[in-house]
Amino acid sequence: MQKHIYCSAAITPKMHDVFISFILSQNDVTEYVIYLTSPGGFPFVGFNLYSFIKARPEETTVYNMGNVDSAAVQFFLGFKKRYSTPTGTFMVHQTTFSKDFLPQNYSRFDVQKALNELASIESKTEQIILAETTARAQTPLTVEQIRAAIFQTTIVRAPEALSHGIIDAIVEPVLPSNDVLYLTETYLAQIPMTLPVTTTSAP
The number of angstroms, rounded, from the C-alpha of 92 to the middle of its chain's C-alpha atoms is 11
What CATH code is carried by the domain that includes residue 113? 3.90.226.10
Per 3-state DSSP, the chain is made up of helix, strand and coil in percentages (nearest 5) of 40, 25, 35
CA 124 vs CA 3, 43, 63, 96: distances in Å: 30, 10, 23, 15
pLDDT at residue 191 in the model: 86
How many domains, the chain? Answer: 1
Task: Tell whether 203 is covered by a domain.
Answer: no
Length of the chain as a residue count = 203
pLDDT at 104 over 70: yes
pLDDT at residue 193 in the model: 64
Task: Tell whether 200 is covered by a domain.
Answer: no
Q: Which long-range contacts (CB under 8 A, 24 or more apart) does 115-124 make?
A: 118/94, 121/43, 121/44, 121/95, 122/94, 122/95, 122/147, 122/150, 124/47
| pLDDT 10s digits, 78-97 | 999 999 999 999 999 988 76
pLDDT at residue 10 in the model: 97
Task: Tell whether 110 is covered by a domain.
Answer: yes
The domain of 81 spans: 2-189
pLDDT at residue 201 in the model: 42
Task: Tell whether 194 is covered by a domain.
Answer: no
Task: Tell whether 182 is covered by a domain.
Answer: yes
Main-chain dihedrals φ then ψ at residue 70, nearest 5 degrees? 55, -125
Kindly state the DSSP code that residue 30 receives in the 8-state scheme: -
Confidence of residue 143 (pLDDT cuts 50, 70, 90): very high
pLDDT at residue 200 in the model: 47
pTM across the whole model: 0.88
